[in-house]
Structure 1
Amino acid sequence: MNVLRQLTGLLGEDAVLRGSEDMAGHLTDWRGRYRGRAQCVALPSDTGQVAGVVRLCREAGAPIVVQGGNTSLCEGAVPRDDLPGTVVVSLARMRRIRSVDVANNSMVVDAGCVLAAIQEAAAAHDRLYPVSLGAEGSCQIGGNIATNAGGTGVLRYGNTRENVLGLEVVLPDGRIWSGLYGLRKNNTGFDLKHLFIGSEGTLGVITGATLKLHPLPTARAMAWLAVDSPQAALAVLARLQRRCSAALSAYELMNDVQLNIVLQHVSGRRAPLHASHPWHVLVELSDTCDEAELAAALQEVLEAASEDGELIDAALAASGQQQADWWAVRHGVSEGNKKAGIGINTDPAVPLSAVPAFIEQATEAAHRVLPGAPVIVVAHLGDGNVHFIPQASFEQWRALTPDQQDGLAHAVKQAVNEVAHALGGTFSAEHGIGQVLTDEMALFKPPVEIDLMHAVKRAFDPQQLFNPGRLLPATSLPKGIPND
């Protein structure tokens, strides 16, 4: 009996997609840049079914690609073109909020829950799940955990890793590890959840999670700032940290190139300030105190910064709607960039003190490869993560062969990442590795780290069937089985 018939018997006819038309949305990324092949897409509805799918694929030697919301920028959820026997396991049907423990500030969810739905469920209990991304309306929590997603709240609340208390995982041998602990303290050996957070589906299928919740802020104050340089933005950040401490929940930097792209290509977005400026910052304070108190603290800092010449201009949000409108500008960057051209995305992080030098040196390095290219900068400045994106026009890109496109993108990324590495930074801060950055892993990671990661991979997945060709530098891949 072939694996397709077995999967259909396990899940039901409507839960196994086959044929290029039915599988189309699962075989390419959301930007349409990467495409792969698979023999089917399996849509299990609970953890037991996931375990059954894994056991069947293991017996058949079929590679497994785990797919959440498919919002990766690194080809992390797209099956490989050279492994047509792959089974894509989509968790889209696993969207249950299993429980909310208000006293414990925790929530247990299925891995297929959309991030925005989790935020809404937490808010219904006057709690906050603080991870916030531009893709939160479509990305799934399992994918967020598998990639250790960051977003705009890292400055205050940390990455996804800091907001996960426990996991439920189907292992490559089909066993289920039920580690859905809701504990802040559990000093009983290896903290296994951290092996799976950021592992990009290479060690198992995350099927459930216990998430850490926080008090829901009842007061917010927001400002949109114009500054003449990243150095000036850092100076204002230091003032805010001294005066406002933990109330500082977001500090987002973008250059005028990025802002103009959003205003031009995303409908309904308006410039927060009337004049044109080289650099912009969105700053948000949030707390459970009196809102007027929060706004007064923000205004006090901005007045002092203006007097010392660190600000060109600033506006304070006058209403909740204006706050939402400004966040819509920030969260419109991915949509705008997709429409504006071919962005060569890089995702480095450097120490905060090195951000200005990184932007300057990376721009010079990118222009040596792609002279005159517009450079988009949009940064989570509070945590040192700079999305540095040299952009080619659609016409420039189409004039190149696929090999030339790959070569150009690789050369630009390596030039930018070498600058980050020289400044004590990393080539991937929050997007992960996927299939796109495995060469960077080999180049920038110490060999002993790569050896240790391969050892963990072999211990969990000796057949190398889980998300092959991702995260780790090249090794032998499973042959895959032909389409039946």
Structure 2
Amino acid sequence: MPGSVLHAPPMPTAPVTPALLDALRSIVGDKGLILDEHEKQPFLTDWRGALTGQAGAVVRPADTNEVSKVVRLCHENGVALVPQGGNTGLVGGGTPWPTHQGIVLSLGRMNRVLAIDPIGYSITVEAGCLLEKVREIAADHDRLFPLSLGSQGSCTIGGNLATNAGGVQVLRYGNARNLVMGLEVVLPNGDVWDGLRSLKKDNAGYDLKHLFMGAEGTLGIITKAVLKLSPPLKDVCTAWMSIRDLQAAIEILSDAHQASEDNVGACELMTRAATDMVLRHIPGVQDPLKGDSPWYLLLEWSSSRARNDGTEGMSEKMENFLAEQLETGRVLDAVIAQNETQALNMWRVREGVAEAQRAEGPGLNYDISVATSDIPRFIDEGVKAAIQISPTIRPYQLGHIGDGNIHFSFKWPANMAPAEMLELSPKVTRAVNDLIVSMGGSISAEHGVGIEKLDELARCRSKTELDVMRTIKRALDPQNIINPGKVLRL
């Protein structure tokens, strides 16, 4: 956990009584109710195994009507509930606190694709749909759903929207909220807001859907969504390059927009240390470019135009671009993927970092954002600040530099005692977050606040901002029963 000992805020204490269990069973049936302690554990422990909570029951409704009835029942009895999608979050947003006495509401059974409109470029899905399934069905209809995450085989659309997920295509398509046309949401009192519209323009009042995206399930439970689709990518070129330094990275990206005719799909920063960590722990991954350069870029250009008219394609444009960058000295060496297998291997190196970090051992992970032009200074000063506190800490910096999002990570030495880690962690966290705030950045670029950044958000945001957030929370959820103790201390 990045930072400090976590103390649970005051939360509803109404227990799950036998009478409540009978009422829940009448709504969702035996198939939708998990009471066995062993069977509950996957829903009570986060993906990393770092956080474990409690719940009187795990409830798995089959449709929106059942969600509404369950939430209304909890509302009437003052019982807290934690909404959960694929449980792949990294800050504990979908994990109940150890002091939680209510239920976990898992939407995994609500996994249907309800409609697809290839002509209108939209797809309507239930919140429990796996991201990978949505992408595959869109592809079957010659369309693209561009949200792309390393966890797409296990994360769900509801969780993606509740956390406003980012991923590797934000540079071109935006965060998850930019890919939504309409939502259906169950409110904290059990009412259902039907905003499931496939409209591209709608200025009739407040745009309510944006309240719930990124709110981490604290304002309501997303049950369905109308998602935007895009044309499929017909011409894709992926390159891996060693670069001179961090300043070169942002200059390469700046030039790439024009050289690609604004077709930069992704630009990912990797270090040699992070690459080697993936190679140590992820079987079958190959080093795209052997060498000892400390900094690497994964650059992908893509176009929806198929190369069937004799025009210069992405590969030719990339080759010319890299030749120019080699001449400037920004790029030291480079390789362009010659086939899909090579491109997938490059992406496996990048997307395997989270899994490799878990295998590497304990450490600190910060999901931050600063202005793109400030990335070199932030990384340089941030690493120096951390090493000044702990000289043996090991940095593993990487991220989506096109949108200013850096996964600022460190690993402790293998022989460091847990007590020393516990002592040093809050000091490193404070130094990193102070630097972020001084640069006008954010302590959470895409992972959310959840449990782990609860106190840091309160320190890093203004009183006015926090008061507005609390006002919204209290207006929609005055009993504080929907995902209590997440994002805000009330």
Q: How do 1:276-425 and structure 2 match up within 5 A?
A: 276-291=292-307, 293-393=313-413, 395-396=415-416, 399-401=417-419, 405-425=421-441
Q: Which moved more, 1:406-415 or 1:302-311?
A: 406-415
- Identify the match of residue 247 of structure 1 among 248, 263, 277: 263
1:432 is the counterpart of 2:448: yes
Percentage of pairs with the same residue: 41
- Identify the match of residue 178 of structure 2 among 157, 162, 179: 162
Amino acid paired to 1:61: G
Amino acid paired to 1:140: T
* Root mean square deviation, CA, Å: 1.2
Q: Which moved more, 1:145-154 or 1:241-250?
A: 241-250
Shift in Å at residue 52 of structure 1? 0.9
Shift in Å at residue 413 of structure 1? 2.1
**Contact residue 245 and residue 330 of structure 2 kept, 8 A:** no
Shift in Å at residue 406 of structure 1? 4.9
In 1: Cα distance, 2:408 partner to 2:345 partner? 24
SS in 1 for 2:367: coil
SS in 2 for 1:209: strand
Unaligned 5+ segments in structure 2 are: 1-17
Shift in Å at residue 239 of structure 1? 1.3
Instruction: Render the CA deviation track for 1:63-89: whole Å, top value 9, x for unaligned.
Output: 110011111111111111112x22000
Amino acid paired to 2:371: P
In 1: Cα distance, 2:251 partner to 2:472 partner? 42
**Contact residue 244 and residue 331 of structure 2 kept, 8 A:** yes
Instruction: Render the CA deviation track for 1:347-372: whole Å, top value 9, x for unaligned.
Output: 11000110000000100111233222
Amino acid paired to 1:285: W
- Alignment-derived partner of residue 89 in structure 1: 105
SS in 2 for 1:368: helix
Shift in Å at residue 214 of structure 1? 0.4
In 2: Cα distance, 1:376 partner to 1:207 partner? 37
- Alignment-derived partner of residue 468 in structure 1: 484
Q: Which moved more, 1:286-295 or 1:461-470?
A: 286-295
Count of paired positions: 469
Instruction: Render the CA deviation track for 1:212-265: whole Å, top value 9, x for unaligned.
Output: 110001110111010121111111111111211431100000111110100111
- Alignment-derived partner of residue 257 in structure 1: 273
**1:467–1:251 Cα change, 3 Å:** same
Shift in Å at residue 407 of structure 1? 4.9
1:231 is the counterpart of 2:251: no
Instruction: Render the CA deviation track for 1:292-326: whole Å, top value 9, x for unaligned.
Output: 51111111111101011111100011111111111
Instruction: Render the CA deviation track for 1:364-392: whole Å, top value 9, x for unaligned.
Output: 11123322211011110100100001111
In 1: Cα distance, 2:463 partner to 2:402 partner? 30
- Identify the match of residue 131 of structure 2 among 108, 112, 115: 115
- Alignment-derived partner of residue 122 in structure 2: 106
Shift in Å at residue 102 of structure 1? 1.1
Instruction: Render the CA deviation track for 1:37-70: whole Å, top value 9, x for unaligned.
Output: 1100000011001001101111221111001111
Shift in Å at residue 452 of structure 1? 0.4
- Identify the match of residue 15 of structure 1 among 21, 32, 38: 32
Unaligned 5+ segments in structure 1 are: 476-484
Amino acid paired to 2:19: N
Amino acid paired to 2:20: V
- Alignment-derived partner of residue 13 in structure 2: none
In 2: Cα distance, 1:307 partner to 1:352 partner? 24
- Identify the match of residue 67 of structure 1 among 72, 79, 84: 84
Amino acid paired to 2:159: G
Q: What TM-score, normalized to structure 1?
A: 0.95
Q: What TM-score, normalized to structure 2?
A: 0.94
- Alignment-derived partner of residue 478 in structure 1: none
Shift in Å at residue 460 of structure 1? 0.4
SS in 2 for 1:133: coil
1:136 is the counterpart of 2:152: yes
